[in-house]
Structure 1
Amino acid sequence: MKIDLKKSRSLFWSIPYGIASLHALLAIFGTTSVFAQSGRSVIAQQINCDRPQGDVEVRACIRLKYEASDRRLNEVYKQLISQLSGEERSLLSEAQLGWIKLRDKTCEFEVYRNRGGTGYQDFLNECLERMTKQRTAELEKYLQR
């Protein structure tokens, strides 16, 4: 899985310290804020999530994989809800909101002992991805009925 991130023109890119400083800054500030703009990143690089290079790319790929699974879940949910009417639609909506709370609390519990550690957010995103894929498979079964 290759992901192209677009470069935004800014004063930052004219800093004379080069890419080594950029990697140092990312290590200090983390990756979440850098990649949170869903496709519109400040960093110009190509990340190959099949072979990530270094911690920054590994963390970015873990987050991107969770985000992709979440987008897929939303697509399947929209397909399913569009086929329902009235009470079924209301029940699914309530069930999905309950599932989101369950998923989030389950993952918080699962990674609780890692809080404060450098891998905490990665472990959390991996759990969120796993549970999101499971829920997507459940909803896909309802589509096949």
Structure 2
Amino acid sequence: MLATTSVFAQSEHSAIAQQINCDRPQGDVEARTCIRLRYEAEDKRLNEVYKQLIAKLSKEEKALLAEAQLGWIKQRDNTCEFQVYRNRGGSHFSGFLNECLERATKQRTAELEKYLQR
């Protein structure tokens, strides 16, 4: 349902993260890599919260949440694409896009966490 990273990709990202000090990235490439890694970490956190929440729901609630989540993903992706559209083709496009995706994903994770507390 939600985007997940393969085991191979996770181990690859871990190796990249170990080689780069994201507290002090050296140059644009490392900065964009760190931005992407932050978004991917937030996406992983969202998936974990989603799984915890879905486990607590009734069958009907699960179906509603799954539908809502798919709609949210589409809206998030479209909104972020729109926000950074004028940067298309530029060297910083992927960084701007991943920053937007990270912000939106972090916000959605907080929303889902509120449902966990009920």
In the superposition, the TM-score normalised over structure 2's length comes to: 0.87
Match for 2:78: what amino acid? K
Match for 2:97: what amino acid? L
Over the matched positions of the two proteins, sequence identity in percent amounts to: 75
In structure 1, list runs of 5 or more residues that go unmatched: 1-35
For 1:121 and 1:139, locate their aligned partners in 2 and report how far apart those are by CA, in whole Å: 26
RMSD: 1.8
Which residue is equivalent to 1:72? 45
Which residue is equivalent to 1:58? 31
Which residue is equivalent to 1:112? 85
In structure 2, list runs of 5 or more residues that go unmatched: 1-7
| CA-CA distance at 1:45 after TM superposition | 5.8
- Change in Cα spacing, 1:43 to 1:135, as seen in structure 2 (3 Å) is closer
Q: If each structure's strand is expressed as a fraction of its own residues, which one has the higher value?
A: 1
| CA-CA distance at 1:85 after TM superposition | 1.3
- How many pairs are equivalent? 110
Structure number with bigger Rg: 1
* Residues 1:125 and 2:98 aligned together: yes
Which residue is equivalent to 1:135? 108
* Residues 1:39 and 2:7 aligned together: no
- Change in Cα spacing, 1:132 to 1:118, as seen in structure 2 (3 Å) is same
For 1:44 and 1:107, locate their aligned partners in 2 and report how far apart those are by CA, in whole Å: 24
In the superposition, the TM-score normalised over structure 1's length comes to: 0.71
